[in-house]
Amino acid sequence: MAVIAQNLQPGITLVATAETIVTAGAGTNVITSAVLTNPTAAAVSVTVQIKRSGGSALDLVPSRAIQPNGTDLLPELIGRVLGNGDQILALGAGLVCVVDGYSLS
């Protein structure tokens, strides 16, 4: 078994509609850290969802305001185990998102 540290999402600017920010590959993927930053001049609301392979998207963070020049470490994602094809989706116009973790194969 190999444990490989990786950037599950090296950096993306979110938009106002839900988009996939992480898609789990083969094996087991575990999220170890996630951060959202708001480089804009106004508060932005973020929603984060999980979509298991073949399932429907479910809210993990239904709506949370990130203040201007603020950050959120998304504790709801830390330790989340993703199987092949599972996805994390998010929306929040202008927010920047980075997700790190590891893969077990």
DSSP, res 27: S
Task: Note whether 23 and 65 are within 8 A (CB).
Answer: no
In sequence order, the 6+-apart residues with CB closer than 8 A to the CB of 52 are: 83, 86
Instruction: With CA atoms as reference, report the closest residue to 95 among 45, 24, 26.
Output: 45
Number of domains in the chain: 1
User: What pTM, to 2 d.p., does this model score?
Assistant: 0.94
Q: Could you read off the pLDDT of 82-96 as tens digits, one per residue?
A: 999 999 999 999 999
Rg, C-alpha atoms of the chain: 13
Sign, CA dihedral 72-84-82-28, equals negative
Residue 21, domain extent: 3-104
| Tokens, residue 31 | 């999220």
Q: What is the pLDDT of residues 14-66, one digit of tens each?
A: 999 999 999 999 889 999 999 999 999 999 999 999 999 999 999 999 999 99
The CATH number assigned to the domain holding 13 equals 2.60.120.340
